[in-house]
Amino acid sequence: MVSIPSSWAGTIVSNVADGILTVMGTADADDLTVRFEGGVLTVNQTQPSGGPTRCLDLRRILVFAGAGFDRVSLGEVTTSAFDSLATTSVSGQEGEDRLIGSEIGDDLIGGGGVGSLLGGIGPDHSLPDRAAAR
């Protein structure tokens, strides 16, 4: 479980530890984009905490969008820039979300609302609603 300091409430938080990027959205409508910029990983054009991370050092991406009508895009996560990336998982959680996958195999979990799940060219697993997984 990722612990978020109360002083960060309402702020999108991203962190890299042990080759795993974890992104936590907010209770508001968020627009989250993970991409390769200038040789390093960015989330919404900002480097995650944990220092600059080369995309080729990343093994996994975990995104928890939070409540609100969110848009999460891994559309710019390519196999050439993120060549060590083995898996991604995006959970829309509450709200009607738009989740956009990468070139890697994605797990796209819609959450509480009926949003859109758009996989990339990799072997994706889409689950429109968490309740369907029970």
Predicted pLDDT of residue 134:
45
The residue that leads in pLDDT, 74 or 68, is 74
CA distance 75 to 124: 13
CB 47 within 8 A of CB 90: no
Predicted pLDDT of residue 131:
52
Predicted pLDDT of residue 115:
78
Kind of pairing, strands 31-37 and 116-118?
unpaired
Report the 10 Å Cβ neighbour count for 75.
Answer: 15
pLDDT digits (tens, 9 = 90+) for 121-134: 888 888 876 554 44
pLDDT digits (tens, 9 = 90+) for 83-124: 999 999 999 988 889 999 999 989 998 877 767 888 888 888
On the 0-12 / 13-18 / 19+ scale of CB atoms within 10 A, 101 is: buried
Predicted pLDDT of residue 70:
92
Predicted pLDDT of residue 82:
93
In 7-120 the beta strands, taken as DSSP E runs, fall at 13-17, 20-24, 31-37, 40-43, 60-64, 71-73, 87-91, 98-100, 106-109, 116-118
Instruction: Give the up-direction half-sphere exposure of residue 37: CA atoms within 13 A in the CB hemisphere.
Output: 12
Query: Which sequence spans correspond to the domains of the chain?
Result: 12-133
Is pTM beyond 0.75? Reply is yes
pLDDT digits (tens, 9 = 90+) for 40-66: 999 999 999 988 899 989 999 999 999
- How high does pLDDT run on average in the chain? 85
